[in-house]
Amino acid sequence: MKAFVLGILLFSLSAWSQANVSKELTFDEFLGYVKKYHPLVKSANLQISSAQANLMMARGGFDPKIEVDYEHKQFKNNNYYSLLNSSFKIPTWYGIEIKAGFDNNDGIYLNPENTVPNQGLTSLGISVPLGQGLLINQRMADLRRAKVQVQLSQAERNLTAVALLQEASKAYFNWKRNFSEVQLYQKYLTNAQERFKGIAKLIEQGDKPAIDSVEAGIIVRNRMLSLEESKLKLTKTKLEFSNFLWLENNIPLELQDDIIPEENLIATIKETLRINDLMMANQTLEKHPKINALQSKIEMLGIELKLKKNMLLPKINLGYSYLSEPSYIDNYRFQDYKVGVNFSFPLFLRKERGSLQLTKYKLQDIQFNLDLERLQLSNKIKGQQTEIQSLEKQRELIVRLAKDNETMLASEDRLFSFGESSLFLINTRENNLVSAQLAQLQIENRFFESNAALYSIMGNP
């Protein structure tokens, strides 16, 4: 049923004529399924969603906050105390905090410092860190890191998607090669069977010795053995290939027997993978996901480094609040205020200096990796470009070699029909042709995989 669903889906999406639609699964269509429905791609997309959720959490550090603290004690009909402390705080970017408050306290046993007017006491103030936390603090660093983490997740998602697409491409290429091998062995098995029938008739007529039927039968059985082995390989590669076929709601698909791979993949693979421009001599690596990922890590460590340096400063927090009764809020009395200063500073700073040094080492290590990755990627691209060019030349040679062997077989077959050749020579010529055509399939498969490898190295899904 699942295979039937895939056949119907291919029928609706393909651009070929109705006679060919239900038969061919093109490489481009296959990659489209993998990109859209494969669970690993969806899992990679969750990394970005998680990073965006972390960004939301980091932004929460700047959310305004309402605080209310109320305590009341009643004992033996006496109101010991009733304390109401409420505040509204607004954190700002540079560590400065704005605070508005309202206090209303009463009771016979009220602490004198909590004594306020009958209508309560309002306050409007500001808290400013003059040392640690002014230019950068923990919530600023968390927000900056969360923003960079989104970029890092996008780069890692691209790397995951590219690696998956390369593995999926290999499975498609193996399926195509084994499918072509089965067709090849089927063709030559048919030829061997027809030749065996012809030899049998010639033996009956007395034109050939009986031993020729034994040799013709050996050829048939060898072809049957090769075909059976090739069918087994095709079955296994189809199962491996089916691992990459999915639909919505994580529904796996099985490959239908009458679905065939793209016949003219040689002509379309570069356009499908969009690597025509990648064959140019010089390629920029600044947008490569590996480079972007390392640069994001460097940026995150740079933020951490600034925070660690800021930790070397003393903690000096200055607070000022303007005080007023609610009924006199329009009558400014700046002589009514509350001021506070907090100061702390470790004498040796060993913890802070050690943490700063570790961050510097991490930053240097990532920078070394970035320089190395740039060089390795550049050399891999050049090597892959050279390999593709070499395989194109090898394919041209092997195609010519296969045609020459085909010509030799046709010539030998004609001589055999005139009685001027032998079954042994025909078999030899045919074996050479089969070997050349198998070598052609192998070189084509290497060519496909080499193009997919270049696509993977460039890391652009």
**CA 283 → CA 286, 438, 457, distances in Å?**
9, 35, 11
Report how far residue 178's alpha carbon sits from residue 164's, in angstroms, rounded to the nearest whole number. Answer: 21
Residue 309 lies in a domain: no
Looking at the fold, whether 335 and 255 belong to one and the same domain comes out as no
Looking at the fold, whether 268 and 210 belong to one and the same domain comes out as yes
Looking at the fold, whether 155 and 207 belong to one and the same domain comes out as yes
Residue 353 lies in a domain: no
Looking at the fold, whether 378 and 443 belong to one and the same domain comes out as yes
Which of 307, 323, 347 marks a domain boundary? 347
List, in sequence order, every residue forming a beta bridge with 123; answer none if it has no partner: 101, 323
Which of 347, 370, 405 marks a domain boundary? 347
Residue 354 lies in a domain: no
End-to-end CA distance of the chain: 31
For residue 411, give the CATH number of its domain: 1.20.1600.10
Q: Residue 113: which domain range?
A: 65-92+96-132+315-347
Report how far residue 238's alpha carbon sits from residue 255's, in angstroms, rounded to the nearest whole number. Answer: 7
Output the pLDDT for position 279: 61
Report how far residue 173's alpha carbon sits from residue 241's, in angstroms, rounded to the nearest whole number. Answer: 9
Residue 56 lies in a domain: no
Looking at the fold, whether 214 and 77 belong to one and the same domain comes out as no
Instruction: Name the pairing type of β-strands 24-25 and 260-261.
Output: parallel
Looking at the fold, whether 403 and 450 belong to one and the same domain comes out as yes
Output the pLDDT for position 5: 36
Looking at the fold, whether 77 and 194 belong to one and the same domain comes out as no
Residue 19 lies in a domain: yes
Global confidence as pTM: 0.81
Residue 43 lies in a domain: no
Looking at the fold, whether 74 and 123 belong to one and the same domain comes out as yes
Residue 284 lies in a domain: yes
Residue 392 lies in a domain: yes
Output the pLDDT for position 278: 63
Looking at the fold, whether 165 and 31 belong to one and the same domain comes out as yes
Output the pLDDT for position 416: 78
Looking at the fold, whether 197 and 105 belong to one and the same domain comes out as no
Q: Report yes or no: 158 and 16 within 8 Å, Cβ to Cβ.
A: no
Output the pLDDT for position 336: 83
Tens of pLDDT along the chain (461 residues) come to 333 333 333 333 333 334 444 488 999 999 998 988 899 988 888 888 889 999 999 999 899 999 999 999 998 888 898 999 999 999 988 889 999 999 999 988 888 888 888 888 999 999 999 888 888 988 999 999 999 999 999 999 999 999 999 999 999 999 999 999 999 999 999 988 988 888 788 777 777 777 777 888 888 999 999 999 999 999 999 999 999 998 888 888 888 888 999 989 999 998 888 887 766 656 678 888 999 999 999 999 999 999 999 999 999 999 999 888 887 556 667 788 899 999 999 889 999 999 999 999 999 999 999 999 999 998 998 899 899 999 999 999 999 999 999 999 888 888 877 777 788 888 889 999 999 999 999 999 999 999 999 999 888 76
Q: Report yes or no: 29 and 14 within 8 Å, Cβ to Cβ.
A: yes
Looking at the fold, whether 234 and 371 belong to one and the same domain comes out as yes
Counting Cβ atoms within 10 Å, is residue 461 exposed (0-12), middle (13-18) or buried (19+)? buried
Output the pLDDT for position 15: 35
Looking at the fold, whether 166 and 125 belong to one and the same domain comes out as no
Count the domains in the chain. 2
